[in-house]
Amino acid sequence: MRDTDDPATSITDIDVTTADPALFNADLAPIAKKHRKWGAFEIFNVWTNDVQSLAGYTLAASLFIGAGISGWYVFAAIILAGIIVNWLVNLSGAPSVKLGVPYAVMARMSMGVLGARFPALVRGIVAIFWYGAQTYFASTAVALAINAAFNSPQSGEFLGMNAVSWISYVIVAVLQVALFSRGIDAITRFLNFAGPAVYVVMVVLLVVIWVRAGSEMLPAVGSIFNSDDVTGWAAVSAFVGVIGTMVAYFSAVIINFGDFSRFSKSEKSMKLGNFTGLPLSLAFFTFLALFITAGAYVVFQDGQGTPMDNPSDIVGQADSVVLSIIAAVTFLVATVGVNLVANFIPPAYDMANMAPSKISFRMGGIITAALGFIIGALWVAVIDDIGLPTFVDTLGAVLAPLYGVLVVDYYLIRRKQVNLRDTFTLDQDGPYYYRKGWNLKGLAAVGIAAVFAVLTVWVPALQDLSGFAWIIGAALGGVLYYVVMLGDGSRTKTAQSTATATAPVSSGS
């Protein structure tokens, strides 16, 4: 039912008879409130699965090892990052709770009804890179189980992976496609199972390691990650850099969080799910990662070399077939979970937005899986050389300006006054048509901000800013967009269109 007191944000359906086929399909259509079934628990599990993947653990461990400051300080920085991400996604998720549409549709308001295809494509490409990376990490868990069961069979290598690694990789790739093809309800049930199950195994692994490490565990947490070269302002910079890198890790979901919040019953349940799934869940997972990494260094490496940053490697050192198999299954579930949340659902919508009349959500998912398979196959031989933190910062820098534009456009330019029907029409007088369907000013703002943010990661002279790449990109993108849009008539046109809008016929969803 339409709320006449707030017509701009109450339209939750679209009239399929007036929507342009070039912009509309059932997957992109607004979800009516009666069909929104997600509560706080479902949102909590979105974040829990995003947090507790093998790549998430490896990134956290890499930051513990590489930051050069006490593990306790890194722990605090990661928790602070979780609080920041919680605030960011509350902003990006609220519009989709009200409107029931994914990010691909929200982007039309700022980039143009056709221009939105560009940021959606960029977002999709980044997600495909992550999809391939996470598929590779998940395959290491399967390889762990195979090696434990068959005593590490030897073979030649291709692209840096042996026969067991390739078999494991193909198994994971096929398993994911089979799961994804069952639809959003099956995905939701999987996420609800995966989140709690992973924590059970992680706690068991911690207990095993802590018992063996004994009294050496706590001193190790505070000492083994320290570097004598990282003191004073360098330590402060490292602390803030950890925050920036962790925010960048979540960048894909920060931007596309509307793809999930559109299923929420209310903004209140979304915020509760965000809080429990981000600061709280991330704190617990980081605690486990910190102590397991430090304890494994004491138990399995005897204080020698560099601490292990992959839990599959740590479990492999435990010399227990049963623990290896249980851990492998759990790590597989965890990593497939994050691939569902961050790297499959968003690009599937983004691909569908490229040609709604030809590409469905399911077809978009197949495209994502196929291209992601190629990326993951090249992980060891090519991508891994740049290091996971650099990989994370680079992809985050590319996406960051899109977040700044989304928030500035919705909250500052339009002040929450939007009309959904205009996002599904090619009417040249529509507020989101701009110039032939493209907002060239907005795209220029995104491009300039993204280039500068990426340069902070790769240019040595800007190295001190690398940990802040996402924050810089988002802030610069938002500011540039606000400046170029000053005096633009789109907000006025939106208000006029909203004032004359009538409630559309429900399409269902």
Q: Identify which of 34-48, 92-106, 204-218 has the greatest average pLDDT.
A: 92-106
Is there a domain that residue 323 lies in?
yes
- Boundaries of domain holding 375: 7-499
In the chain, what percentage of residues exceed pLDDT 90? 22
pLDDT at residue 135 in the model: 87
- Kindly give, in sequence order, each residue whose CB lies less than 8 Å from that of residue 100, ignoring residues fewer than 6 positions away: 12, 13, 30, 31, 32, 33, 36, 262, 509
In the chain, what percentage of residues exceed pLDDT 70? 86
Is there a domain that residue 506 lies in?
no
pLDDT tens-digit profile of 267-324? 999 999 999 989 988 888 888 888 888 888 888 776 666 777 777 777 777 667 777 7
Is there a domain that residue 507 lies in?
no
Reduced to 3 states (helix: H, G, I; strand: E, B; else coil), residue 502 is coil
Residue 70 backbone phi and psi in degrees, to 5: -55, 145
Please give the single-letter amino acid code of residue 409.
Answer: D
Average pLDDT, whole number, for the chain? 80
Q: Identify which of 166-175, 181-190, 487-496 has the greatest average pLDDT.
A: 166-175
Q: What is the pTM of this model?
A: 0.78
Is there a domain that residue 329 lies in?
yes
Gap between the Cα atoms of 291 and 286, Å rounded: 9
Helices (H), 301-360: 311-317, 321-338, 345-354
Instruction: Name the pLDDT band for 10 (thresholds 50, 70, 90).
Output: very low
Is there a domain that residue 508 lies in?
no
Is there a domain that residue 504 lies in?
no
- How many CA atoms within 13 Å lie on the side-chain side of 317? 21
Name the pairing type of β-strands 157-158 and 161-162.
Answer: antiparallel
**What is the number of other CB atoms lying within 10 angstroms of the CB of residue 240?**
15
Gap between the Cα atoms of 145 and 333, Å rounded: 13
Q: What is the dihedral of CA 244, 249, 253, 254, to 10 degrees?
A: 0
Q: If you average pLDDT over residues 200-208, what whole number do you get?
A: 82
Look at 291 and 351; give whichever has higher pLDDT: 291
Residue whose structure tokens are 């004994």: 214
Whether 265 has a pLDDT exceeding 80, the answer reads yes
Whether 228 has a pLDDT exceeding 90, the answer reads no
CATH of the domain at 36: 1.10.4160.10
Look at 261 and 9; give whichever has higher pLDDT: 261
pLDDT tens-digit profile of 105-149? 999 999 999 998 888 788 788 788 888 888 888 888 788 888 877
The answer to which of 12-21, 271-280, 368-377 has the lowest mean pLDDT is 12-21
Residue whose structure tokens are 């891994």: 384
For 354, counting Cβ atoms within 10 Å of its Cβ (0-12 exposed, 13-18 middle, 19+ buried), the class is middle
Q: Is the dihedral of CA 338, 340, 346, 348 positive or negative?
A: positive
- For the chain, how many structural domains are there in total? 1
Is there a domain that residue 130 lies in?
yes
Whether 494 has a pLDDT exceeding 70, the answer reads no
Look at 375 and 181; give whichever has higher pLDDT: 375
Is there a domain that residue 227 lies in?
yes
